[in-house]
Amino acid sequence: MAGWIFLAMLAIPFLEVLVFIEVGGRIGLPATVAVIILTAIVGTALLRIQGLGVLKRVRAGLNRGEVPVGEVFEGLCLLIAGIVFLTPGFVTDAIGALLFVPPVRRLLGWWIARRIVASGGVRVHGGARPSGGPVQIEGEYSEVSPPENDHKEVSP
């Protein structure tokens, strides 16, 4: 995994420079800078809109007593999308744009979940209790009564 991260840290800036040179050569420097600023603004707006939607779904799931794992993953994808959209560059903007598409997020979540389960790294204990249902606690108890001589009458 560390090798992939290292490779990405080398490859992405290299690709960004190549794409900047190509786009700048075709549409000019002012237009290139304008497109980069515009994508940052659009990315911020999309993050706000979709992020609030995910937050509402998380709250609704928690109110129903569900664990909102899918929504938390979507929120993480949106956070990453927002970060890469604010990073100047066309390659990072393309990655961010893909993460803003809900079917892409679901596919990515499915792929990651499948890899985690295949590696045997998942253990689930317990579960969420249905909202409004009774709480059941197992245990032992014994009644304890106060000793007879400790009863004192208090008069007003």
Read off the pLDDT of residues 86-130 as tens digits, 9 standing for 90 and up: 888 899 999 999 999 989 999 998 898 888 888 776 665 555 555
Residue-wise over 86-115: b if at least 16 C-beta within 10 A, else e?
bbebbbbbebbbebbeeeebeeebeeeeee
Decide: residue 39, CB within 10 A, 0-12 exposed, 13-18 middle, 19+ buried.
buried
| Domain edges within the chain | 19-123
Q: Which two tokens stand for residue 12?
A: 């992405």
Tens-digit pLDDT profile for residues 44-90: 898 888 888 888 888 888 888 888 888 888 889 998 998 888 888 89
**Sign (positive or negative) of CA dihedral 72, 50, 52, 66:** negative
Q: What is the pTM of this model?
A: 0.66
